[in-house]
Amino acid sequence: MLSDRFVDGRSIGTTKLVKHKGTIKTIETEDGDIIDCVDFYQQPAFDHPLLKNHTIQMKPSSIPSDLKANSSEPDQLFQNWHQSGQCPEATIPIRRTQGNQHPRDLYHFKQRRARLNHSLDGASDGDVLSSHEYATAYLGGNFHGAHATINVWQPTVSNDGEMSIGQIWVVAGPDDKVNTMEAGWRSDGYQNTGCHNLECPGFVQTNKKVALGSPIGDISSYNSKQTNIGITIYKNEGNWWLKVNDQPVGYWPSSLFTYLANSATELTWGGEIYNSKIGGVHTKTQMGSGHFPSEGYGKASYFRNIQYVDTNGIFKDVEAGQLTPDATKPSCYNINLQSDTSGGSGTNFYFGGPGYSDKCPK
């Protein structure tokens, strides 16, 4: 997912680290990104001790029925590196980690950390957890997956080590041993514990067209063109598959987990930022589009077609009344659930905000 340092969410890394083990071909983009096309069987996943005798699932045997996709989701995800070349068959693209990361990239994330506390103010987890701020909607129960159409923006990230994310969380386990899978888009750095993209072994990538951590080609513009991606996480033959638009990307083997080995008990959709509180004031890092939900379509960022997968493997619409909204600091970043599900948007909400202002000083 994220690491290292950034400048204003736009700088391009200049540190070219050594190529990945098993690299067959290297692609360098015009903006300095480097993609290694790595032999499928030498990808980092298989360095994990729990996967030494893993039986590989090359593709999902099925996709849960009744998945809703927005017409604005393209069949394939366009990433900038595609302009400079393609990876050959039997390889997967892995972006080299560089001294500075890119904005608006696609990522997945698996971690074990303190649970997202839905009342973070005064949380016992201390400054690290309280520095994370959220505008989300969550649902409790027993689930085998989640889906949403996510509006893609490039929010301003003010300080080194901060980040802004729009994503889905799939969660299970007690607070001190929680398992999560997370996928969506992000701008800039996330420097806490966990495994991001293919930096840590475990996630088995099967798709040669999607480079996790590499920039998404298009973003939304204020009061103009809107860009979306469809993110789906669902269980198939015991593994948790990640699907971007109509492309299965790969999977988290169930053997990696304790509590998520069977099912998820909480799903969350929405935004997250990290507030480094430099100088004792609130960060100017934006969430979503950087505008409040009240501004609506074309101005505020949104989630649409919010669904879950039940234990029978069927996608179900999440009713707006089932979702619990949660905004850590509504004066900085907020969320607004929508009751109108017509027009192909399904269950949806707007979220985000500008961060620091006279109403959000700390």
Give catalytic residue positions: 182, 272
> Which residues fall within 8 angstroms of residue 282, CB to CB, at 6 or more apart?
275, 329, 332, 355, 356, 360, 361, 362
- The answer to whether 348 and 304 are in contact (CB under 8 A) is yes
Q: Which residue has the tokens 């997967």?
A: 92
> Which residues fall within 8 angstroms of residue 18, CB to CB, at 6 or more apart?
none
Residue 230 is given by DSSP the state E
313 Cα distance to chain centroid = 22
Cα separation, 330 vs 50, in Å, equals: 42
Cα 282 to Cα 41, 55, 116: the distances in Å are 46, 48, 20
- What is the DSSP track for 133-163? EEEEEEEEEEESEEEEEEE-------STT-E
Q: How many residues does the chain have?
A: 362
- The answer to whether 191 and 9 are in contact (CB under 8 A) is no
324 Cα distance to chain centroid = 20
Number of H helices, E strands in the chain: 1, 19
Q: Is 115 exposed, middle or buried (0-12, 13-18, 19+ CB in 10 A)?
A: middle
Residue 129 is given by DSSP the state H
Q: Is 193 exposed, middle or buried (0-12, 13-18, 19+ CB in 10 A)?
A: exposed
